[in-house]
Chains A and B, each alone.
Chain A
Amino acid sequence: MDFFELRETGVHEEFRADEAEEPAGRRSYAEVIAARSRIEVTRSTMEEVEFDLVGVDVSIANALRRIMLAEVPTMAIESVYIEENTGVVQDEVLAHRLGLIPLRVDPNDFEELLDPEDATDVNTIVFGLEVKAPINIVAPNARRRIDDPVEDDEVARRPGGHKHTTVVTTKDLKWLPQGDQETFLPEPARPVHDDILITKLRPGQAIGLEAHGCKGIAKDHAKFSPVATASYRMLPRIDLVKPVEGDRATALKNRCPLDVFDIEDIVSDDGPPASRAVVARPRDCTMCRECIRRIDDVPFGDDMADYVKLKRHADFFLFKVETAGQLAPLRIVHDAIAILKAKCDKWRTELELSGGSLSLD
């Protein structure tokens, strides 16, 4: 088990040879990892999941994070066919905004669309957007009474009135099922939220378009990313190398802005009652280093670093994955691991096909 220690200046690595612990038998690296690694979900909601990934190298943790961000496929609007758009938002801006809307459609139910010419019901979902902002045929101020501006204003703000603005949101997107989609999709395709503002229309303006969605990954376009954030940090470890007791314990507890330490009473038959600081909530630590900072003219301010060692576990990762809404948070993690596995399988096959023969330059 390795650690990284933070001192007042700089990070110091502390490596312990783990190879020596391995028995002489030829266990493969995968077996070694399988024996010591685990995943434990610590918090799970509809929006985000926090879990511990323990016993693997950073390179694997980072591969999973990168895959979640950029390679887990989702569905998003890719092509927009505009029949009518008299609003102030230009066609290309409108199309771009439509593309960014997260869609609640399971990408596993669809195949990849390689060429827009090959669009079928198994690789494309279609949404229609038809909005006409009402307009009164009668001139808005035909019955205008100069002595009653309030009533006039009210009339103008009603639908059709010249002060009325029509709001176009994702609620106006209508799913148009293609082929067998109504039978093979477990639920109707829809945007994740129905209150996302797409554009606004003045009276008389209209939008009529058809939006085609397909499967993609965020490597191609960030709109396909299933996560809002996917990040990890290493578990902090705080060692009290010398007992921190009495007033020093209180001073340490009060110093920590995240309240990582608790004070325990020491009960002994002989001698006066005493107290001792213990590390109670190391997960809350943000590595602010306040506890090891040298502070002059404060009790215990000059040598706290001799008592407290701030470290991080090198193989204990606290992941936090927040979904953008298309997929359940744990599903994203599950998919990410499956994608890394698929990469390994793909390249093993390629290696086998090549027979190990050299390529010509």
Chain B
Amino acid sequence: MADEKSLRILGQPDNERERTFIFRDEDHTLGNALRHVLMKNKDTDFSGYSVPHPSEPFMHVRLQTTGAPAVRIMDEGLSNLGQICDHLTAQLEAQGATASWPTGGETTS
């Protein structure tokens, strides 16, 4: 684990459909959500995540596609998850939440 790079990509050079992505300082929070979004992609054949050891700061995502480059599908997955966040933020702001303190407000039913 000497490699300090935050993102590592493992796989075979002659097969770009299959990759393992190793995320540094990530855990189940991003892992499961990302896995789910990747599974919803029509080009995904297999997607799974794991945290190989609880005391090491790494999270692995395995991605196999039906033909598209796995790196591109991963980018689409991250993009989709980000867009979902944007949508939820818009929904929440429509309910009166902002990033400034204080936003507690009075009791409403």
Contact = CB atoms under 8 A, between A and B. Distances in A.
- The DSSP consensus for interface residues of chain A is helix
Given A29-B37, A44-B105, A343-B30, A333 B9 contact: no
A334 B98 contact: yes
A284 interface: no
B97 interface: yes
Given A108-B99, A359-B3, A361-B10, A344 B85 contact: yes
Interface in A17-68: 26, 28-34, 37-41, 43-47, 51, 53, 56-57, 59-60, 62-63, 66-67
Contacts of A338: 85, 89, 99
Interface in A100-118: 106, 108
B67 interface: no
A84 interface: no
A105 B37 CA distance: 36
Interface string B10-50: 11010010000011001011101101110011100000000
A28 to B, nearest CB: 6
B9 A331 contact: no
B54 interface: no
A335 B97 CA distance: 10
A358 B10 contact: yes
Contacts, number: 171
Interface size class of B (residues with CB under 8 A): 35 or more
A46 B37 CA distance: 34
A271 interface: no
B108 interface: yes
A351 B74 contact: yes
B95 A51 contact: yes
Contacts of B89: 334, 337-338, 341
Given A60-B33, A333-B92, A344-B78, A359 B104 contact: no
Interface residues of A, number: 58
Contacts of A70: 29
B88 A59 contact: no
Contact of B83 (A30, A56, A330): A30
A216 B64 CA distance: 37
A30 B79 contact: yes
Contacts of A359: 3, 5, 8-10, 22
A33 B98 contact: no
Contact of B81 (A106, A329, A344, A354): A344
Nearest to A327: B101
Contact of A328 (B23, B42, B104): B104
B84 to A, nearest CB: 5
A273 B105 CA distance: 48
A149 interface: no
Contacts of B26: 343
A174 B53 CA distance: 44
Given A38-B91, A343-B26, 15 more contacts: A28-B80, A30-B82, A34-B84, A37-B84, A37-B87, A63-B33, A328-B103, A330-B97, A330-B103, A340-B29, A341-B89, A347-B23, A348-B79, A352-B75, A358-B10
Interface of A: 26, 28-34, 37-41, 43-47, 51, 53, 56-57, 59-60, 62-63, 66-67, 70-71, 106, 108, 327-331, 333-335, 337-338, 340-341, 343-345, 347-348, 350-352, 354, 356-359, 361
Nearest 7 A-B pairs (CB), nearest first? A30-B83, A356-B71, A344-B82, A341-B85, A330-B97, A359-B8, A46-B104
